[in-house]
Amino acid sequence: MDKIKIPIEENLGHGHLACAGCGAAIAMRLTLKALGEKTVMVFPASCWSIVPGFWPYSSYRITAVHAGFVTGAATASGVRAALDVRGDDETLVAVWAGDGGTFDIGLQALSGAAERNEDILYICNDNEGYMNTGTQRSSATPLLAWTTTTPTTQPKENPKKDIMAIMADHHIPYAATATIAYPEDLIRKLEKAKGIRGTRFIHLFSPCPPGWKMASEQSVKISRLAVRSRIFPLYEIENGRDYTIQEEQRVVPVREYLKLQGRFSHLTEKDIEITQANVDDAWERLLRKSRCFI
Ligand SMILES: Cc1ncc(C[n+]2csc(CCOP(=O)(O)OP(=O)(O)O)c2C)c(N)n1
């Protein structure tokens, strides 16, 4: 793989309001470096409606369009159409939406845009819950995790929705997973997505220190452990068909990932075994879908 340079350009300025250690703040900084200034980014309601600060101030050095919670992909489709009418095919139209805004409430708009193969780059900032409003469960919350709506006496009963499989089944030109623990990989995937026309989807793994009850200095470490434990493998899907896995050779048991987060502190030995078995099963399924390794 070619060596990737992280661009010097900064498009996320000082003074933003993200929590200490917010994984998404690091991800946003890297993302805006890769996408560049000529970007219109649509923000359906999420932490990122608040993080840049209050009008007339903003930490974004790109054009930001704040949109209704359900409308991320639909708003971006409209922005793209308006730019096309103006003959502007240089400006990139992107969406930055939470997992609530993607897996749940915005899924219909996203599915419609993907089916039409709208020329947009959709980034799902997945912190595995509705964090801006106080850590409610979403369909991206993992099995057995604590949230304020899945207390430890009744932890989440359902597994995380497989959003990558859903996007692959729309046969979009490009979908990829990424984390801040592998910044060159994230930049490479964003730059690759930028060079493709049609609907592109990035599933970004995004540790949330208050919501995950984890130490704020461990966002990068937890992201790396998510990949090494295969809780969150790094891979790409082209045209809904061609899978490429960026396999991490240093594999660790899921226990190493779970034990750093208070949202899993109630898990029993049996729960950890169930989680490990589910992860092993998902990995096998992913391997069967992939055709090569790099
Ligand atoms: C229709 C509608 N319902 C509820 C809200 C309140 N609300 C704002 S942000 C948010 C949580 C968003 O969760 P997610 O999409 O996961 O992003 P995160 O906050 O985790 O970044 C909610 C429920 C809203 N703005 N609009």
pLDDT in tens, 224-274: 999 999 999 999 999 999 999 999 999 999 999 999 999 999 999 999 999
From the number of C-beta atoms within 10 Å of its C-beta (0-12, 13-18, 19+), residue 195 rates as exposed
The mean pLDDT value for 278-294 works out to: 86
CA–CA separation, 136 and 226 (whole Å):
21
Q: Tell me, what amino acid is at 116? A: R
Classify each residue of 90-123 as buried b or exposed e, where b means 16 or more C-beta atoms within 10 Å of its C-beta. Answer: ebbbbbbbbbbbbbbbbbebbeebbeeebbbbbb
- Give DSSP secondary structure letters for 224-242: HHHHHTTSS--EEEETTTE
Q: pLDDT, tens digit, for every residue of 15-51?
A: 999 999 999 999 999 999 999 999 999 999 999 999 9
Give 137 Cα–ligand 1 centroid separation in angstroms: 11
Q: Are 233 and 177 in contact (CB under 8 A)?
A: yes
Entry pTM? 0.97
Pocket residue to mutate for ligand 1, from 22, 43, 47, 135, most atoms within 8 A of Cβ: 47
Give 223 Cα–ligand 1 centroid separation in angstroms: 23
Q: How confident is the model at residue 294 (pLDDT cuts 50, 70, 90)?
A: very low
Q: Whose C-alpha lies nearest to ligand 1, atom 9? A: 46
Give 99 Cα–ligand 1 centroid separation in angstroms: 9
Q: What is the mean pLDDT of the chain?
A: 96
Q: How confident is the model at residue 1 (pLDDT cuts 50, 70, 90)?
A: low
Q: Are 27 and 48 in contact (CB under 8 A)?
A: no
192 pLDDT more than 80: yes
Percent of the chain with pLDDT over 90: 96
Strand 235-238, strand 242-245: pairing = antiparallel
Q: Are 279 and 229 in contact (CB under 8 A)?
A: yes
- Show the ligand 1 pocket: residues with CB < 6 angstroms: 45-47, 69, 98-101, 127, 130-133, 138
- 109-114 contacts at long range (C-beta below 8 A, 24 or more positions apart): 109/70, 109/71, 109/72, 109/73, 109/74, 110/72, 110/73, 111/166, 111/170, 112/73, 112/74, 113/73, 113/74, 113/76, 113/77, 113/199, 114/73, 114/167, 114/170, 114/172, 114/199, 114/201
